[in-house]
Amino acid sequence: MKSKNKLRLVEVAVRHPSIKVVDSSVRKLIQTLDTAKSYVCPTGDISVVFVNDAEIKKIHKEFMNDPTVTDVITFVGEDHPVEPFAGEICVNLDQAKRVAKKHGHTFEEEMSLYVAHGWLHLTGLRDKKSAEAKKMRAAESFALAYIDHHKAWIKVSRSRRSK
C-alpha cells in the first residue's frame, strides 16, 4: 500500500536528443495520480524515462523479445522492506508526437496519457487480453480526467522542443 503521509521519490530522465520534458510536471502528474482513491500504486520510488524510437526498440527487444517500436514499457518494481521500488515507466516521445498529431491531441496530453498508462500498469492493470484492455481504457479515461481536474499535465520546455 502507498503511504498517505510521504510523497514518493519520482526520478525523471530525459534521454531524447531534442525534446526537453519539465521534470517537475512529471513529478506533479505522478503525485496527483497517487492521490486518486480508485487505483493504488505500490509503495516505493518511481522512475520515468523519456526516450526516442531507437531506444524504445532496443528496450522492447531486450526485455520482451519484440524489436518493434512501442509507446510505453513499464517494469514493475519490488516491495523491498527497506527501499521499495514501485517501478519504471519508459515513454517513447517520438511515438507520442506521431500519435498526438494523428488523433488531434496535444503532445503534452499524449505524453501524460503514456505516463498514466504506465502508472496504471504499476497498480496491477494489464492490457494484453481484450477484457483487460477494456478495463485499462476505462482507467486511462479516469486518469486523464483526474489529471485534467488537477491541472497536472506534463509540460515540455519550449526552448529545446523539436518542431
Predicted confidence at residue 159, as pLDDT, reads: 53
Judged against a pLDDT cut of 50, whether residue 114 lies above it is answered with yes
Q: Tell me the C-alpha distance between 61 and 87, whole Å.
A: 19
Mean pLDDT in residue range 72-89? 94
Whether the pLDDT of residue 7 is over 90: the answer is: no
Please report, for residues 18, 111, 157, the alpha-carbon distance to residue 118 in angstroms, rounded to integers and kept in the order given.
23, 11, 22
Sheet holding 45-51, edge to edge: 10-14, 45-51, 85-92, 72-78
Report the alpha-carbon distance of residue 64 to residue 161 in Å, rounded: 30
Which pLDDT value is given to residue 158? 67
Is the Cβ–Cβ distance between 94 and 121 less than 8 Å? Answer: no
68-71, Cβ contacts within 8 angstroms, sequence gap of 24 or more: 69/94, 69/95, 70/95, 71/95, 71/96, 71/99, 71/114, 71/117
Give pLDDT, residue 1: 38
What is the average pLDDT across 10-25?
97
pLDDT for res 2: 42
Q: Which residue has the higher pLDDT, 48 or 81?
A: 48
Tens of pLDDT, residues 131-150 = 999 999 999 999 999 999 99
pLDDT score recorded for residue 82 = 86
For all residues of the chain together, what is the average pLDDT?
A: 93
Q: 150 Cβ partners below 8 Å, 6+ apart?
A: 32, 35
Amino acid at 22: V
**Confidence at residue 80, expressed as pLDDT on a 0 to 100 scale:** 85
- Domains located in the chain, CATH noted: 10-149 (3.40.390.30)
